[in-house]
Amino acid sequence: MIDDRDRRLLALLQKDAETPLNVLAEKLALSPSACSRRLARLKADGYVTRTMAVLSREKINLPTTVYLLVKTSRHSEDWLQRFHAAVSSIPEILEVHRLTGNYDYILKLALPNVEYYDTIYKAIIRQVELSDMSAHISMETVKLSTALPVGHI
Amino acid sequence: MIDDRDRRLLALLQKDAETPLNVLAEKLALSPSACSRRLARLKADGYVTRTMAVLSREKINLPTTVYLLVKTSRHSEDWLQRFHAAVSSIPEILEVHRLTGNYDYILKLALPNVEYYDTIYKAIIRQVELSDMSAHISMETVKLSTALPVGHI
DNA sequence: TGTGAAACTATTCCGTT
DNA sequence: AACGGAATAGTTTCACA
């Protein structure tokens, strides 16, 4: 139902969603119209959810990445709600996952600088109580892949 | 040099990079051509680096997210090179950051299932020695924002 | 910056394999 | 069921005010 051309198309579109259909068509050894139909199908079937502009973290003045590992003793419904509300109200918090293991949550932050972490820290603890919170500043981004591998489909 | 319309344009393009210029123009109270010129400038100045298709993790058969916290005793040039080579050769490793604090590195993985972690684990330790490695499986994605806040520019 | 024409790109239709 | 080519529709860019 999904063939190798579809996979290659998905890989290409993850790299550059603005590639014109005639160029994509050429790379896939297809006509532009066939390419257009495949793309429409991949969207309709939910493989491609949307397309987005990738901004420069430096230009946008958010060069610093910080990970927060969080533990909590409170696991009530009320606590959860306040936690959800807190993290969704702070746009510098990019990701939040609930984890297995020693920590309850991991948060990923994008900040203008390391000092700014204090602002976020205060904004969080004002809204919810946490039993432990350790910040880990990224000193170097060794790898940052925005393209998911397409070989598991 | 960057005004509020530019910021709004960046925010809109992060949500949907396929929005036609005439509807962007409408939202910004501008003409399509003025909008086109602003976009071209934002790209030329490096604010927008590229545009990409966002794929469904479920559809692509990579629903599971795992974080790896890694410690190492070896910090030689040779070790570093092998580590870089290892992580860049494994496409399921989406992100790698070198950290401050108790851990040396954090890795983010996208996997077909939890069991698949073993495959990645073996692929890593075959290439580099690590003194400690703890896996944290994401049980729930509480927040996943692909759009960077645009208020710090 | 906006307007409108021109250029370009994408989509749909149709006949074919 | 999927393709290529042609016609159509839509989008972007350019010249000029």
Mind listing the pLDDT tens digit for each residue in A76-96? 999 999 999 999 999 999 999
Chain C footprint positions (protein CB, under 7 Å): 1-4, 9-13
Please tell me the distance in Å from A120's CA to the nearest CA on chain B.
Answer: 14
pTM for this entry: 0.96
Residue B105: per-residue pLDDT:
98
Percent of chain B with pLDDT over 70: 100
Chain A residues close to B109, C-beta within 8 Å: none
Specify whether the backbone of B133 is left (phi greater than 0), alpha (psi in -120 to 50) or beta: beta
Q: Give the domain extent around A124.
A: 64-137
Q: Are residues A133 and A79 in the same domain?
A: yes
Q: Quick check: is B142 in a domain? A: no
Across B88-98, b (16+ Cβ under 10 Å) vs e yields eebebbbbbbb
* Structure confidence by residue, pLDDT tens digits, A18-50: 999 999 999 999 999 999 999 999 999 999 999
Check whether residue A68 and residue A37 sit in a common domain: no
Q: Is residue A125 part of a domain?
A: yes
For residue B34, say whether its CB is under 7 Å from any atom of strand C: yes
Could you tell me if residue A152 is inside a domain? Answer: no
Has residue B73 got a pLDDT over 90? no
Q: Is B105 on the interface with A (CB under 8 A)?
A: yes
Q: Do A148 and B57 touch (CB under 8 A)?
A: yes
pLDDT at B75 over 90: no
